[in-house]
Amino acid sequence: MTPKHEFEHDVKMDVEARVRQGVKAVLEEVLEEEMTQHLQAGYRELTPTRRGERNGYYQRNLVTPAGKIERLEVPRDREGEFVTEVFERYKRMTGDVEEAILEMYLS
């Protein structure tokens, strides 16, 4: 491989890694917002309508059109009732929601 091709390959890999990092950040933000809506309260916010407690995160890998997102932090609630609409439970590949987010992020 010539130095020019090697450089182009490295740049492409760096850009792809940055896109995956951005997609991961956007997905984690969407998950946090879903949890806030589920609990009807923000992080450490006490409201009369609050419906439960946050209970940390679990990590999962997810295959997206941007590549494999590793160690995506998915919030969970104490009662175990929170279910995200971003991806199906036990599903490891993305669907329409993630593709829409990717389109928005990449445009």
Task: Give the model confidence (pLDDT) of 31-62 as tens digits.
Answer: 999 999 999 999 888 889 899 999 999 999 98
**101: amino acid identity, one letter:** I
Residue with tokens 């679990």: 58
E strand residue ranges, 52-99: 54-64, 67-77
CA distance 77 to 60: 16
Note the Cα 16 to chain centre separation in Å.
Answer: 16
What is the model's pTM? 0.75
Instruction: Tell me the backbone φ, ψ of residue 84, rounded to 5 degrees.
Output: -80, 155
Residue bearing the bigger pLDDT, 13 or 92: 13
